[in-house]
Amino acid sequence: MSDFPILSALIVTPALGALVIAILPNRRPEYVRIVGYLFSIATLALAIWLLCNFETRAGYQFVESESWISNLGVHYKVGVDGISLFVVALNALLFPIALLASASITERTKAFFVWMLALEAALMGVFLSLDLIVFFVFFEFVLVPMYFLILGWGHGRRTYAALKFFIFTMAGSAFLLVGLLTLAFLHSDATGTLTFDLGVLTAWAPNGLDPTVAAVLFFAFFAAFAVKVPLFPLHTWLPDAHTEAPTAGSVILAGVLLKMGIYGFLRFSLPLFPQASVDFAPVLLVLATIGIIYGAIVAAMQPNVKRIVAYSSVAHMGFAVLGVFALTTQGLDGGVFTMISHGLTTGALFLLLGMLYDRRHTYEVSAYRGLWKVMPVLGGLFCVAAFASIGLPGFSGFIGEFLALIGTFITEKPYAVVASIGVVLAAVYLLWVFQRTFMGRPTGDNATMKDINFRELACVVPLLALSLFLGLYPKPVLDRIEPSVQKIICQVEAGSDYKEPEAARTTATFGSHAKLGLTSESCATKAATK
Amino acid sequence: MARDLLDLVWLVPLLPLLGAGVLLLAGKRIGEPKAGWLASGTMALAFVWSLVTFFALHDLPAHERSHVTTIFTWLPSGGLHVDMGFLVDPLSVTFILFVTGVGTLIHVFAVGYMHGDERFSRFFAYMNLFCASMLILVLGSSFLVTFLGWEGVGLCSYLLISFWFERRGAALAGKKAFITTRIGDLGFMIAMFLIFSEVGSLDYSALGAASGLASGTATVIALLLLLGAVGKSAQFPLHFWLPDAMEGPTPVSALIHAATMVTAGVFIIARAHPYFEASPDAMTVVAWVGAGTALLAATVAIVQPDIKRVLAYSTISQIGFMFLALGVGAYSAAIFHVVTHAFFKATLFLGAGSVIHGNGDNQDMRIMGGFRKLLPITALSMVIAWLAIAGVPPFSGFWSKDEILTKAFLVEEYGVWVFGVLAALLTGFYMTRLIFLVFLGNERWKAVPVVSGGADDAEPELEWDPEEPTVAFGEPVRAVKVSEDHPPHEAPPTMAMPVLLLAGLAMVGGFLSIPLKGLEFLVEWLHPVFEDVPEIHTPSFAKGLALAGASVLVALIGIGLAIKLYRRGLDAPDQDPVVARLGPLGRVFGNAYYFDEGVSRLVGGPLKRAATWLSDTFDVRGVDGAVNGVGALVQRGALGLRKVQTGRVRTYALWIVIGMVGLLLFFLLYVGR
């Protein structure tokens, strides 16, 4: 079993699903659905297998490598580590749920399912590939299904939103392509071999690049990832895309697509350009902090529920970026954890909003009132999802935000303090929405709305249950994230003048935990023993 | 043996937590009244187990009475390591005893009070969760576990205050409570960040490190924790959520004010006292926040027409006493007052609940009067609680309040002491006013018009339930549901009995700690927790007696003044003698110094305008406008190249690729060479 190409299977299974659906007859949408569910659930099963067999250590596992375009040095190389593991799992989890939530899609069902499964395959590729060209191909390919999903099954101003989404991310990607080609060619100039292998380039780039060039390349990569995050002030495509996208599109967009940005920072920016990352960290911290506060304030002023949640994503992703560029173990742990948690809670919120939309075809806050009275279960779940998103302790959101903030506080106190205000603001906009839509007396059309049905329950409950579980017992996830996180920090330390503060790395000697052997070696000691 | 039992302390929060879980999932099926009895049962069992824990801890020698039990590792991340663990020591055991004990009685009372509510079982699920959160809060072995309970309490207060969410007032009040306390939580969180970065551990076992910190750092940590405490305990300047919290059902008010939530702030300062001890400046701030709040809230309480509002401001004032005690280093006295306050305030709130329940949901004391004949058990309970809170010996409040004032005097904090004494005087006054307006005097409800039925059906399209129970200062008298044909009635036994029991505790609770050698049980019991605190020497017998005499005298003056004014009730419902005598000052008191209004105006005015500008102007025209502006510019510039503008994405993509290749070439030529 150990030779089984599990990672390729994760990419191929949904792609195969898309192909199979493509050849199914148009007249039988029920077959389309069943096949779609089957393939996405099979992918989920594979992801669960991967979770169970993942070893808690740093470095890539289940690596597969095949030469692809040999004269250009392009390899098909995939691998998984603690950073990508849970994003892959989240991707595998959200797709069956998003498909199940798409019962209201009755037009061109076949095309919808094809695009969705193609999107899943592309996203798997993004998080698994370890070759820059292969990564870029997947990174770009993600745009295509998403574009057509918004355009084909979106609401209102979907043409505008889809095009805006496309142009924004394409503009960022252009820089990325230029950057990665430059990097590879410079490496080839210096060493004589042309390769896009991330491992080889990561080993070479920190010391092999001229600092100015490294800074320029950092910026090229940054441009692509910052748009995806999205980082203030590049965020304006997000509310439009979210608002006009169909529910499944929003769930995937928030749950997985935004993570491509954070993931890119972790996988490429920090290891490849450590000194530039350290130098530019203050800029990112400032933008992230602005994003947290700004996203929350603007969210509070939106008349459209979906826009509120969309802007809240700007704030949440701000916490993730803050954690990552705090460059401490807690910060990076928190950043990675926030990626996962945000996928669960915001995914749940979008699903619930989709249920309201299915019933009433509007996202205007003012259209709803007193829903808790007529929909006690849906109201209760919305309340849970809201508090999970607010970051109430006991839910996963708290773990991510707390770690990101405490990790930031160790190195950059002012940012952490200002960003903490975002925690209060999150309560302001979500409780406002909840009060306006679910409290009061149901009037007019609100009085006859039907409560959640079994299919809808099956969509939302797993996400909220997971959020609760991870909030109370995040250890299994943190244990698997941490070795990879520490490896990144070691890479940054080795390639720059930065040193992680001792407090972040080692457990206080006087706490009761030193004896449990939980203190980790510093990078320096690790290097010395080698 | 004893330690094995202590390891099982997690049963205490788990029992109500399980109750909440079962009721949330299957509450509808369990139904009324079984859901209520189930919730009360889990609380009673938790109380029993708290007693077991108490005896197990008591079996240990005094200096060994601190036991940590770890359930699992919660948050491991680099140098940060937090266990889901519980700390059993005299402080936490004191809290779990009264939280479960008083909590059980409130649950039982609520079975009667919530009778017929359409969300009966949901109510008890929240109540159980509320108590479970509070128990986790006080039992936590680290700041972070306490914070888990701390926020859980916030969540439950939101759910319970907004329980009747059809009412606009309730919906707003819950939100206000959560957000206001969350501002305080911000302080708590940043304090944790600072503690971790300075000390390296959030465990309470590392509290000793506080004395080694620079005094500036200790002060900042202490003040941040104080901000958290001020939010949860409704102290100035974050006090204004508590009076609104009256919108919740009355048992909720009792729970918030007596057993849970507002005592959390006192708890956290007592628990984290090494940080406060390390900073005299922070201690001074705590003492003055307490003294100021105690006095200001008491002045507001003396003119309120709404029975629950009087009690709400009374709580703010009484918690002020506790903060005052903490600030002068009299930690045991503060905890003592927490316990006695739990007894008499629970009695008062549940008693008020019976009164409201029994006279057609009216909360306006101006149209009550003479209820002692109609609600005899409630009247008896309330009278006991009145004497307790007013500080009449030998009722419980006298002992704890006297302890606080004596200690404040002995450490020569005379300014604080004067504030405390004045607040004690006003306490006697406003409580006497309440008792006389409700239970004695003329029966004003007989003269008020009776509500005509069916008003609700006339306007089915109302967006909010019209029923707003709270009576604001200066509001005209409304119609009532009681009349001579349907007079106010006594509560059923399930409601009256818990109140009477609590009144019994309010009567004798003071004997937990009498300031005589050998009788200071509670102080002795808490001593191991506060042994690092410099002892405040007990006064000579004569001095102690003189100070106690002063306390009693002050209380009696307050009571006497009120009796003089309210002996016969009110001449007319809108003629309140104290309001008339205070003149314009009465309006200031009645509107709580216009503080709440000021905050609302600030938030609803300039702040909202700024936020609107940010979202509607800056984001749309500024940030997004720049993007679209670039687009428009390109479009205009490309007018000459119209043929290129096919409007097809494929074409655009082609151009993007061409552009990228151009960029690439540029980079290669420029960077590569």
Res B458: pLDDT? 46
C-beta atoms of A406 and B196 within 8 A: yes
The DSSP-derived string for A98-120 is: HHHTTTT--SSHHHHHHHHHHHH
Subunit contact B77:A369, Cβ cutoff 8 A? no
Verify whether the Cβ–Cβ distance B72 to A475 is below 8 Å: yes
Q: What is the average per-residue pLDDT within B372-400?
A: 91
pLDDT in tens, B530-545: 988 888 777 788 888 8
Predicted local distance difference test score (pLDDT) of residue B389: 93
Q: pLDDT band at A385, cuts 50/70/90?
A: very high
Q: What is the mean pLDDT of chain A?
A: 89
pLDDT: is B307 or B360 the higher one? B307
**CB-CB: which of B74, B179, B614 is closest to A298?**
B614
Q: If you average pLDDT over residues A164-179, what whole number do you get?
A: 87
Averaged pLDDT for residues A423-429: 90
Report the half-sphere exposure of A191 (CA within 13 A, side-chain side).
Answer: 18
- What gap in Å lies between CA B526 and CA A249, rounded to an integer? 58
What is the distance between the alpha carbons of residues B671 and A206, in angstroms, rounded to a whole number? Answer: 17
Which residues are registered as beta bridge partners of A198? Answer: none
pLDDT of res. A2: 56
Segment B467-478 shows an average pLDDT of: 79
Mean pLDDT of A471-491: 92
Give the per-residue pLDDT at B56: 92
pLDDT band at residue A183 using 50, 70 and 90 as cut-offs: very high
Beta bridge partners of B83: B73
**Per-residue pLDDT band at B47 (split at 50, 70, 90):** very high
Q: What number is the average pLDDT over the span A70-94?
A: 91
Residues B605-615: what's their mean pLDDT? 81
Domain range summary for chain B, segments of one domain joined by +: 285-448+481-590
Q: For residues A269, A270, A272 and A273, what is the CA-based torsion angle, rounded to 10 degrees? A: 90
Q: Is the pLDDT of residue B102 over 50?
A: yes
Q: Give the helix ranges, DSSP H, for A253-328.
A: 259-264, 270-272, 274-300, 305-326
Q: Is the pLDDT of residue A511 over 50?
A: no
* Mean pLDDT on B462-489: 77
Which among A213, A233, A405 is the nearest to B671, CB-wise?
Answer: A213
Residue percentage of chain B with pLDDT more than 90:
49
Closest CA to B78 of A347, A1, A176, A327: A327
pLDDT for position A518: 38
Chain B, window 67-86: residues with a beta carbon less than 8 angstroms from a chain A beta carbon? 72-81, 84
d(CA B533, CA B638): 78
| Residue A151 vs residue B32, higher pLDDT | A151
* Inter-CA distances, B128 with A366, B162, B216, Å: 34, 16, 41
Searching chain A, which residue's CA lies closest to the CA of residue B654?
Answer: A170
Least confident of A501-510, B61-70, B579-588: A501-510
pLDDT at residue B473, as a whole number: 83
A141 contact B CB<8A: no
Per residue in B280-293, pLDDT (tens digit) is 999 999 999 999 99
As a whole number of angstroms, the distance between CA B100 and CA B83 comes to 24
Give the pLDDT confidence score for residue B132 in this predicted structure.
Answer: 95
Decide if pLDDT at A338 tops 80: yes
Mean pLDDT of B607-634: 76
Option in B77, B201, B611 nearest A297 (CB): B611
- Alpha-carbon gap, residue B349 to A23, rounded angstroms: 71
- What's the pLDDT at B646? 56
What rounded mean pLDDT belongs to chain B? 87
Query: Chain B residues with CB inside 8 Å of A149's CB?
Result: none
Chain B contact for A267, CB < 8 A? no
Element (H, E) at A243: helix A237-244
Average pLDDT over residues A389-411: 94
Q: Is the pLDDT of residue B128 over 50?
A: yes
Residue with the larger pLDDT of the pair B642 and B567: B567
Is the pLDDT reported for residue B669 higher than 80?
A: no
Per-window interface: A 460-489 vs B, CB < 8 A: 472-475, 478-479, 482, 486
B516 pLDDT higher than 80: no
Does residue A517 carry a pLDDT above 70? no
pLDDT the model gives residue A512: 36
pLDDT of B411 over the 60 cut? yes
| Calculated CA dihedral for residues A228, A232, A235, A236, nearest 10 degrees | -160
Q: What span, in angstroms and rounded, lies between the C-alpha atoms of B129 and B68?
A: 23
User: What are the structural domain ranges in chain A?
Assistant: 6-505
Q: Under an 8 A CB cutoff, do A479 and B179 touch?
A: no
Q: Is the pLDDT of residue B2 over 90?
A: no
Cβ-based contacts of B151 with chain A (< 8 Å)? 392-394, 398
Residue A176 has pLDDT above 60, yes or no: yes
Least confidently predicted of A126-140, A239-253, B244-258, B658-672: B658-672
CB proximity A235 to B under 8 Å: yes
Determine the average pLDDT of the residues in A315-328.
94
Report, as an integer, the average pLDDT of A231-253. Answer: 90
Q: What residue of B is the nearest CA neighbor of A415?
A: B190
| CB neighbourhood size of A375 (10 A) | 22
Q: pLDDT tens, B201-226?
A: 999 999 988 888 888 899 999 999 99
pLDDT given for residue B457 in this prediction? 47
- Of residues A354, A451, A337, the one with CA closest to residue A98: A354
Task: Give residue A522's pLDDT.
Answer: 53
**If phi over 0 gives left and psi between -120 and 50 gives alpha, with beta otherwise, what is residue A519?**
beta
pLDDT at A514: 37
Mean pLDDT calculated for residue range A30-36: 90
Q: What is the mean pLDDT of residues A330-356?
A: 94
Mean pLDDT of B644-653: 61
Burial (Cβ within 10 Å: 0-12, 13-18, ≥19) of residue B26: middle
Window 459-478 of B, Cβ < 8 Å to A? 461-465
What is the pTM for the complete model shown? 0.91
Minimum-distance CB partner of A428 among B165, B179, B631: B179
Q: How confident is the model at residue A386 (pLDDT cuts 50, 70, 90)?
A: very high
Mean pLDDT score, B409-432 = 92
Which segment of A291-295, A494-498, B317-321, B514-518 scores lowest on mean pLDDT?
B514-518
Chain A residue whose CA is closest to B617: A298
